[in-house]
Amino acid sequence: MSNIPSVRLATPNEEVLTSLGLLAELAGTWHGKGFNLIARPDKEGNAPLFLELNQTSETLRFDPIATSIPNRGNSQDDIELFGLTYLQKISDSVTGGALHIEPGIWVNIPQTTAPAEAPSVARMATIPHGNAVLAEGGAISVNPVGSGTALGTFQIKPVNTAPFPQGGTMPAGGTQGGFPEYDLSNTTPAATNSRTPFGNTPAIPLPAAIDGVPMQTVVNDPTRLLQQALQGQFIEEMVVLEIATATIGAGAVTNGGGGIENLPFLQTNANAALMFATFWIEKIRHPAHHFMQVQYVQTVLLNFPLLPAGKPPVPFSWPHVSIATLRKTFGGQ
């Protein structure tokens, strides 16, 4: 292997996209809608938690990095990473209020001998709350995709939104965990005063359903909206990206790696402990032409204790779940 030069000039577009491997189709601008669920502390409200539920509008832009990113070797020869920068902007689709902004980078990583690792992908992100995230995982090409109307082996699996004891096993998706905030039929003040909508005058009520999916079903398992968006579509081929900040067994992200760094305030008040996500880059058949679609589900575990009156704190992990279905927009590559 020849040395990677210190002076690196931009290569032709086709070479850049080829070097990105299975990340190549991300290049461009994507826009669509989704849903966000987050349980957060509510000290001002004198409540154990506040469950915020948002219908979202999202723009996600990826720009290829036109040169390699050299990682200098010691135990083995240098390697070259290739990647894309991105900027994610999410707002509440009902109020237009800001929810999330995230700059970051996705990189394609070759196989290495020291350490002995298969090819992988990684996502690096910074979040203005005071978090820095590195999550690694794998990329798989699926072509053809079963019958084209379902994801087959890569079917969208239910995701858990209910809290559970820190260090315990995460429950299966579709549970409410016994917390009144998660049960939309519970209209007691303890539930309704600790559940979105919040701070709107006049108040904006939650819809009975989103895209035909009952709201309670969405709260229990937001991935049902991803499944609903696929109705009537024919997926010809796709790429599946699975990443996590740590290895997650049981058939999930077995080559995850990295971690999350948090500001001291977050470490004390609501510590982001683990992130894992799946992205589906889908080529959809259309009578006139194909179009590209990205779907994702992401879970961040926020660790903070319940504070029962007169009792010791009880440490819980609270899943912060985000989903979206996005299409490549006009002007995208």
270-312 residue pLDDT tens: 999 999 999 999 999 888 888 999 999 999 999 999 877 778 8
Read off φ and ψ for residue 196, nearest 5 degrees: -60, 150
Contact between 276 and 248 under an 8 Å Cβ cutoff? The reply is yes
pLDDT value of position 14: 85
- CA-to-CA distance for 10 and 13, rounded, in angstroms? 9
- CA-to-CA distance for 122 and 258, rounded, in angstroms? 9
pLDDT at 125 over 50: yes
Tokens of 313: 């704190």
Contact between 33 and 210 under an 8 Å Cβ cutoff? The reply is no
**Distance in Å from the first CA to the final CA of the chain:** 32
pLDDT value of position 149: 47
Smallest CA-to-CA distance from 160 within 326, 45, 316 is with: 316
Contact between 273 and 301 under an 8 Å Cβ cutoff? The reply is yes
Smallest CA-to-CA distance from 89 within 104, 75, 78 is with: 104
Percent of the chain with pLDDT over 70: 92
Long-range contacts of 307-311 (CB under 8 A, 24+ apart): 307/48, 308/48
pTM of the model: 0.92
Tokens of 220: 């229990």
314 confidence band (pLDDT: 50, 70, 90):
confident
- CA-to-CA distance for 189 and 89, rounded, in angstroms? 33
Smallest CA-to-CA distance from 214 within 246, 178, 174, 160 is with: 174
Contact between 82 and 16 under an 8 Å Cβ cutoff? The reply is yes
- Condensed to tens digits (0 to 9), the pLDDT of residues 256-270 reads 889 999 999 999 999
pLDDT at 199 over 90: no
Contact between 99 and 128 under an 8 Å Cβ cutoff? The reply is no
Tokens of 171: 């429950």
Average pLDDT of the residues in 3-10: 76
* Torsion on CA atoms 329, 330, 332, 333, rounded to nearest 10: 120
- Within 10 Å of residue 151's Cβ, how many Cβ atoms? 20
Percent of the chain with pLDDT over 90: 59
Q: Which domains does the chain have, with CATH numbers?
A: 13-328 (2.40.128.20)
CA dihedral over 86, 95, 41, 323, signed as positive or negative: negative
